[in-house]
Amino acid sequence: MPYDTPIEEYVELAGGRVHMFRGGTGEPLLFLHAAGGAGTWLEFHGRLADAGFEVLAPDHPGFAKSDDFPLVEAMDDLVYHYLDLLDALRLDRVHLVGASFGGWIAAELAVAASHRLRSVTLLSAAGLRLPDHPVPDLFLMPPTRLAETLYHDPPPAPEGSAAGPDIDAVLAAYRDSTALARFCWAPYLSNPKLERRLHRVSVPALVVAPSDDRLIPVAHARRYAALIPGARFTEVPDSGHAMYFERPAEFAAAVTGFLQSSPSGPSRASRGGSLSGADQ
């Protein structure tokens, strides 16, 4: 059974508290969750920990048990937010893994601060604007359509409760979706400038796509792989965009296989060292 006893902790930053799971021992691995994945430690996280990593899984600003951080308004602020978190945790360099929305943050962090990373792994990352391969509007989808879009093999819809909706659960979901919309309503789930900046990524990179991604077309992952210098690309069969919810073992294996095979020494490019005020 994968590791399932993480520590739950809060990290104080200037703008509020970050809720975070921490589990396993080894090189630090910062995992940035997908839009729907806040506040949970799942089989997938446990398998990463089992492979010999200290897995750090924070909730993004405004998601689950993290504070709102109202001044973290857009993607550029999120990049500084995570650099602040690395500083607060006194982590010099981490393996960075991000899924979907978290994958977009990971790509932006790798562009801005590869010197704080040992590697970067993008699991069907959002972030690119490819008009020929549009991402359907998450915010307009009714729950059943959303499940059909996220899963290769959608789970049965939950039965309605006779007591009516659980108001606290509705409010919690609305808070997560509000936090997501803050960062990605328009431009929708993307930064039009990201493509032209990806050449700056200077650590080993892996791009993973589920074979049947109905939310973020696989063309996005292929574009990431083409534009990040030296990136590897792999596909996980029989999976939808829910990735680590639908195929936790396969996605964990893709990530840990890459991390265990790639050099995790100093970054290939040395730029940034003398300029990095954030480096400790």
Partner 1 sequence: MKFSFFHLMPYPYLPDDFDTAYDSSALTYPNANFDPKLGSALYARYLDELEYADKLGFDGIAVNEHHQSAYGLMPSPNIMAAALTRRTERARIMVLGNAIGIRGNPLRVAEEIAMLDLLSGGRVDSGFVRGIGWEYFAHSINPTKSRARFDEAHDLIIKAWTSEEMFSWYGANYEYRYVNIWPRPLQSPHPPVYIPGAGSTETMKFCAAHRYTYMSVYAPTRIVRRWFDGYRQAAADLGYVPDPERIAFSVPVYVADTDSRAHAEARPALEWLYHRGLKQTPEMVTPPGYMSPGSLRGVLMSGMQGFRTQSYEDLLAAGQAVVGSPATVAARLRSLYDELGGFGQLIGLFAIGPSTHEQVTRSAELFATEVMPELRPLGVATDATSA
Q: Do 234 and 251 form a contact (C-beta atoms < 8 A)?
A: no
Of 80-88, 104-112, 166-174, 212-220, which part binds partner 1 (CB under 8 A)? Answer: 166-174
Pairing mode of beta strands 94-99, 117-123: parallel
Q: Is 169 in the site for partner 1 (CB under 8 A)?
A: no
Task: Give the whole-angstrom CA distance, residue 200 versus residue 277.
Answer: 18
Residue pointed to by tokens 């006893």: 5
- The H or E element containing residue 122 is strand 117-123
- Indicate whether 130 belongs to the interface with partner 1 (CB under 8 A): no
Q: Is 134 in the site for partner 1 (CB under 8 A)?
A: no
Q: Is the peptide bond before 263 cis (omega within 30 degrees of 0)?
A: no
Nearest residue (CB) to partner 1, 53 versus 104: 104
In the chain, what is the straight-line distance between the N-terminal and C-terminal CA atoms, in Å?
Answer: 37
Question: What is the footprint of partner 1 within residues 172-201 (CB under 8 A)?
Answer: 174-175, 177-178, 180-182, 185-186
Residues 216, 121: Cα–Cα separation, whole Å:
16
- Residue with smaller CB distance to partner 1, 116 or 182: 182
Please pick, from the candidates 139, 144, 155, 263, the single residue that binds partner 1 as defined by CB under 8 A.
139
Nearer to partner 1, 170 or 226 (CB): 170
Q: Which residues of the chain form contacts with partner 1 (CB under 8 A)?
A: 137, 139-142, 165, 167, 170-171, 174-175, 177-178, 180-182, 185-186
